[in-house]
Amino acid sequence: MSVADIKKGVDQKMQRSIEAFKADLAKIRTGRAHTGLLDHIQVDYYGSNVPISQVANMTLVDARTIGVQPWEKKMVPVVEKAIRESDLGLNPATQGDQIRVPMPALTEERRRELTKVVKSEGESAKIAVRNLRRDANEQLKKLVKDKEISEDDERRSSEEVQKFTDKFVAEIDKLVQTKEAEIMTV
């Protein structure tokens, strides 16, 4: 494994950590409705669990309501039950073959709890990035030990890995601030 492989690998892995963090943030509810909130809900479809997006069409009815239209009429009660039993605290209402999922307004206390969750998720993402940095530095030290690169190359490469780390940690901080502002906006 070369220094270039290590740098490229750590950059890609850190980028994936950021993408995973963005996906986690999308699941955290704000005052507004968006169809991404329901993406992680699994529905029992003929004996196998599948994401809700594979059995229904999801749309925004208005700023506070998500419309879910199952493709099969007999899936309506199953989808409604899956939404009701999810960890989102939503109460869907069925009108014919259309399920309306109103987003309740967030209280001030709930908004503060959600900002704590966002900060916690941000810390987890930072830890993941720092662990990747540690792994890359260990690989570089191993290359020095095996006499494949010089100590100067190792130090220079470690500094570049640190720059990657700083860049991604700053991006995580920015995402956390944006999400907190979004949550606290009434």
DSSP state of 91: -
Q: What pLDDT is recorded for position 185?
A: 77
Q: How much is the average pLDDT of 174-182?
A: 89
pTM above 0.75, yes or no: no
DSSP state of 114: H
Residue 29 confidence class, pLDDT cut points 50, 70, 90: low
Distance in angstroms (rounded) separating the CA atoms of residues 59 and 130: 38
DSSP state of 86: S
Q: What pLDDT is recorded for position 131?
A: 93
Domains of the chain: 3-27+107-184 (1.10.132.20), 35-102 (3.30.1360.40)
Provide the mean pLDDT of the chain.
85
**Strands lying side by side in the sheet with 98-102:** 56-62, 65-70, 98-102, 93-95
| Higher pLDDT among residues 150 and 166, named by residue | 166
Q: What pLDDT is recorded for position 127?
A: 93
Q: Are the CB atoms for 179 and 118 separated by under 8 Å?
A: yes
